[in-house]
Structure formats: structure tokens, C-alpha cells
């Protein structure tokens, strides 16, 4: 195995197979369950199913959530989400092995970091691109670090507003970023997809665009996305839907992923001006019209309840007493998730460092403007 510090870069999105207009990413996520044998099986299944790329997640629990965030239901019963993330932490050699196996299978390797340490690991692996998940779209320190690496950034846009996306692109740069339209709901209802946002993103932001799809149908959203001009399609893959990975219940099994890949490749062969008509002929005019939507960016109905809880906000690392001065050591930008309260938006993080609390804050809770004696409408995510 190569030393991670000397690992070479892979071929990258800019050098994808010239016969393919759409770059297909098989998101293995946490479906490997920490087993390299299972990860290897997933990689070979993705290759056989027609993927151009295999993606995983470099999980470090403390970069993502607080231990008090709540529980998640798994096939074996409920477990603290933080504990599940801790179980999924791996050393860099695990990811390097995944990368080598992926490249030997003829695909690109990609990973999502969630903070400074995991991004440093990704850069040590020599990946040519960086995937930023939707909840990290407003993690500005992470975006700044990613932009400084001068690599292609693939940015998912679920549970975000048009203003949120513009703020992220102001950090990552339009020319260096691919936007993936996404709905942060598991599963995501097809009727809420509003896939006209793909050409809207391309025209409005002057970026390449695609979709990160969490819907259950293996063909519908990917095919209509390809018809609407997507150049990247990301879809979860799992060996089965009850394998214990956090996203396995909404993932495609290898046979369904192969069906999706074949459908996307069929649409690539159709002249661009005729693809929507071809989608209507295949899925029905009214169905396609419903999925295309109006192209106006808004939070989807199914993700409204997640806004401010899935996104990053300022949280107390431990219990903080009244009069405590906020520092980068006793605060963190975390996902709120299950039961904690959301806090101040990350764009105000530097502004509040050094300020004193006027009341105590419980361990893990979001730190809000009134905890600092501030009357600043819009500073906090809504409760």
C-alpha cells in the first residue's frame, strides 16, 4: 500500500470518459460498516453497475454532531447517532485501500469530508475533487479550506435557499464548483424535485450542475435529470437495503443501480433538444412536468422541518456558565439534528468569538443571539 502522503492524484471530473456526458457517482456512504471486505464488494458492484466514480464519507463524529444530538433507528434498534458515527470512524489506510481498489476497477474515488481533519485526510489521499454534502454548504471554514486546496468542488445544495448557495459559491468560486441539486429528505418525494433547477443553476450561477438523488425510483429522477442537462448524477448504492448503513434504506441495490446507469446512457444518445420529449414518452407527460417543476429555488416541503437542524450552526461543546467567553475551543459548528436547539448561523461565527454569555447554555445546545444579549433578527436559525 502506498504512503498516503505520496499517493498520486486521480483522473478527476475534468477528464471523465469522453463518450459519457454524465458522470455517475455511486455513493457508498457508510454502507461498508467499517469492513474493507464489504467496501470492496460495494466497489466492484458499482463498477459492474456502470458507475464512473465511487464515493465514501470520511467520518469523524466530533466534526459532525454533539454526543447529545439524539438517536437514530437502525435494523438492530435505536442507537445514539453520535455513537453510530464513532463506530464508522476509520484510519486513513482504510480510505487509501478503498481508493486503490476503486482505481484498479477503472473508476474515480471521491469522498466527503466534514471538517478540518477529515479534509486533511482526503487531501493526503490525493483525490482530485472534494465532495461537500448539503449540511456542510454553510460550513464556511470547511469551504474556505476546500477552496484553498484548488481542487474541483462538488457541492450539494439540499436544505438550502438561493441565498445560502450564493454565499457558498462566493467562497468556493463558480468556475471551480459543480452544484448538485438535492432534496434533504430520506426518501425524497419525486414530485418535489423541481429539476428545472438544474438548467437554472447553470444559467444563473454559470456553473456545471447535476443532481444528488435520494428518491426511491431507480429511473425517474436520474433520467429526467439527464434530460434536463445534468452532467453529474449521484445516487446511493448498497448491497441490500437492510445492511445497517445510515442511508441503506433509500439506496439502490446493484441491479437497480445498473438499470439507472443504462437509462442515463440511453438519454445521452438522444439529441439534447429531444430529451425532454423522450422522457415524456417514457414516463408520461404529466409525470415529467410534475418532476421538472417551475425552476424556482425554494425549500422542498419534505425538507422544511430540516432547515436549521441539518445545516451547521454554533453549538456549545460542553455546558457553559453565564459569563463564559466564547472561544473556538468551547464552541463548534455542528449539525443540530434530532433533539438539540439550533444556534447562530455560521456566517456570524467570527463575530461572536470573544463575546460573553449572559446566561448558561446546556451541553451541545445551539448558542443563540439572546444568550449573548444580542438583538439581531436573522442571526439565529429558527427554533
Condensed to tens digits (0 to 9), the pLDDT of residues 227-251 reads: 999 999 999 999 998 877 888 889 9
Domain count, the chain: 2
The pLDDT assigned to 73 comes to: 72
Instruction: Specify the CATH number for the domain of residue 94.
Output: 3.20.20.70
Residue 242 is predicted with a pLDDT of: 82
Domain match, 247 and 342 both: no
* 57/189 same-domain check: yes
Quote the CA–CA distance of 36 and 56 in Å, as a whole number: 12
**Across 322-329, average pLDDT:** 98
pLDDT in tens, 294-307: 999 999 999 999 99
Q: What is the pTM of this model?
A: 0.93
**Do 264 and 379 reside in the same domain of the chain?**
no
- 200: containing domain: 4-301
How far is it, in rounded angstroms, from Cα 342 to Cα 332? Answer: 12
Give the per-residue pLDDT at 216. 95
Please indicate, yes or no, whether residues 21 and 111 belong to a single structural domain of this protein: yes
**Does residue 170 share a domain with residue 55?**
yes
- Whether residues 295 and 323 share a domain: the answer is no
pLDDT digits (tens, 9 = 90+) for 93-118: 999 999 999 999 999 999 999 999 99
Same domain, 241 and 382: no
Rounded to an integer, what distance in angstroms lies between the CA atom of residue 286 and that of residue 279? 11
Between 75 and 324, the more confident residue is: 324
3-state secondary structure of 234: strand
Strand partners, 80: 71
Q: Do 318 and 275 share a structural domain?
A: no
Q: Based on the fold, state whether residues 198 and 81 are members of the same structural domain.
A: yes
Same domain? For 147 and 129 the reply is: yes
**Whole-number Cα distances in Å, 316 to 67, 113, 168, 371:** 11, 22, 24, 11
Amino acid at each position: 500500500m502506498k504512503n498516503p502522503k505520496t499517493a498520486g492524484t486521480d483522473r478527476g471530473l475534468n477528464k471523465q470518459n469522453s463518450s459519457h456526458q454524465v458522470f455517475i457517482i455511486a455513493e457508498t456512504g457508510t454502507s461498508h460498516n467499517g469492513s474493507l471486505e464489504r467496501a470492496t464488494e460495494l466497489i466492484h458492484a458499482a463498477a459492474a453497475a456502470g458507475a464512473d466514480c465511487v464515493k465514501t464519507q470520511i467520518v469523524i463524529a466530533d466534526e459532525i454532531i454533539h454526543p447529545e444530538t439524539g438517536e437514530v433507528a437502525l435494523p438492530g434498534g435505536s442507537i445514539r447517532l453520535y455513537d453510530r458515527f464513532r463506530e464508522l470512524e476509520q484510519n486513513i489506510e482504510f480510505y487509501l485501500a478503498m481508493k486503490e481498489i476503486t482505481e484498479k476497477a477503472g473508476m474515480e474515488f471521491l469522498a466527503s469530508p466534514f471538517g478540518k481533519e477529515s479534509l486533511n485526510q482526503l487531501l493526503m489521499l490525493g483525490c482530485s475533487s472534494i465532495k461537500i454534502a448539503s449540511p456542510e454548504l454553510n460550513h464556511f471554514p470547511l469551504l474556505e479550506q476546500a477552496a484553498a486546496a484548488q481542487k474541483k468542488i462538488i457541492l450539494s445544495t439540499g436544505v438550502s435557499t438561493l441565498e445560502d448557495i450564493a454565499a457558498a459559491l462566493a467562497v468556493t468560486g463558480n468556475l471551480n464548483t459543480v452544484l448538485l441539486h438535492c432534496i434533504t429528505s430520506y426518501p425524497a418525494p419525486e414530485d418535489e424535485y423541481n429539476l428545472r433547477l438544474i438548467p437554472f443553476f447553470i444559467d444563473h450561477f454559470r456553473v456545471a450542475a447535476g443532481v444528488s438523488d435520494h428518491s426511491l425510483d431507480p429511473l425517474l429522477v436520474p433520467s429526467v435529470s439527464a434530460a434536463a442537462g445534468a452532467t453529474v448524477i449521484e445516487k446511493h448504492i448498497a448491497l441490500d437495503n437492510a445492511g445497517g448503513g445510515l442511508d441503506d434504506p433509500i439506496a439502490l441495490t446493484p441491479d437497480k443501480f445498473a438499470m439507472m446507469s443504462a437509462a442515463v446512457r440511453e438519454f445521452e444518445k438522444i439529441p439534447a433538444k429531444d430529451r425532454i420529449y423522450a422522457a415524456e414518452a417514457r414516463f408520461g407527460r404529466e409525470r415529467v412536468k410534475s418532476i421538472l417543476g417551475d425552476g424556482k429555488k425554494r425549500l422542498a416541503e419534505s425538507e422544511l422541518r430540516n432547515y436549521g437542524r441539518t445545516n451547521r450552526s454554533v453549538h456549545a461543546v460542553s455546558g457553559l456558565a453565564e459569563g463564559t467567553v466564547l472561544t473556538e475551543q468551547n464552541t463548534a459548528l455542528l449539525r443540530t439534528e434530532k433533539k438539540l436547539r439550533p444556534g447562530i448561523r455560521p456566517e456570524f461565527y467570527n463575530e461572536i468569538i470573544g463575546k460573553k454569555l449572559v446566561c448558561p447554555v446546556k451541553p451541545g445546545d445551539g448558542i443563540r443571539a439572546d444568550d449573548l444579549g444580542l438583538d439581531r433578527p436573522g442571526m439565529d436559525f429558527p427554533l
